[in-house]
């Protein structure tokens, strides 16, 4: 009897997480691309966020895969995203 009581005491001290079917789970955060602004493209180099990048360069967590005439392809792991050349807004003055 003493041995049985001695073996059950450590099991009682161990707290197990309880499952609550009505508790709402924490939603996963949606992955978002970082803010990237392609400002200019010259000789297969892209001017992105104030610096020039060519194919193979790393920009943050991404890697430049392709620099075309009017867009840049950047891969983020298995995901690839196309960033187009941003055009400045035209300001019209009315007199």
pLDDT digits (tens, 9 = 90+) for 55-88: 999 998 899 999 998 899 999 989 999 999 877 6
* Count of Cβ atoms closer than 10 Å to residue 69 Cβ: 7
For the entire predicted model, the pTM comes to 0.60
Distance of CA 33 to the CA centre of its chain: 5
Q: 32-87 has which CATH code?
A: 2.30.30
pLDDT at 65: 96
What is the spatial distance between Cα 50 and Cα 40, in angstroms, rounded to a whole number?
10
φ/ψ (deg, to 5) at 77: 70, -115
pLDDT digits (tens, 9 = 90+) for 12-50: 556 767 777 787 777 777 777 778 889 999 899 999 999
pLDDT at 13: 58
Sketch the domain layout of the chain as residue ranges. Answer: 32-87
Q: Are 76 and 62 in contact (CB under 8 A)?
A: yes
Structure token pair of residue 32? 């978002």
pLDDT at 46: 94
Give the up-direction half-sphere exposure of residue 8: CA atoms within 13 A in the CB hemisphere.
Answer: 5
């Amino acid at each position: 009897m003493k041995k049985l009581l001695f073996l059950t005491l450590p099991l009682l001290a161990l707290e197990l997480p309880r499952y609550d079917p009505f508790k709402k789970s924490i939603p996963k955060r949606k992955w978002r691309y970082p803010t990237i602004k392609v400002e200019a493209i010259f000789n297969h180099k892209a001017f992105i966020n104030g610096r020039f990048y060519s194919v193979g360069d790393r920009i943050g967590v991404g890697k430049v895969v392709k620099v075309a005439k009017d867009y840049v392809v950047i891969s983020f792991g298995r995901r690839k995203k196309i960033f187009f050349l941003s055009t400045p807004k035209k300001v019209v003055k009315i007199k």
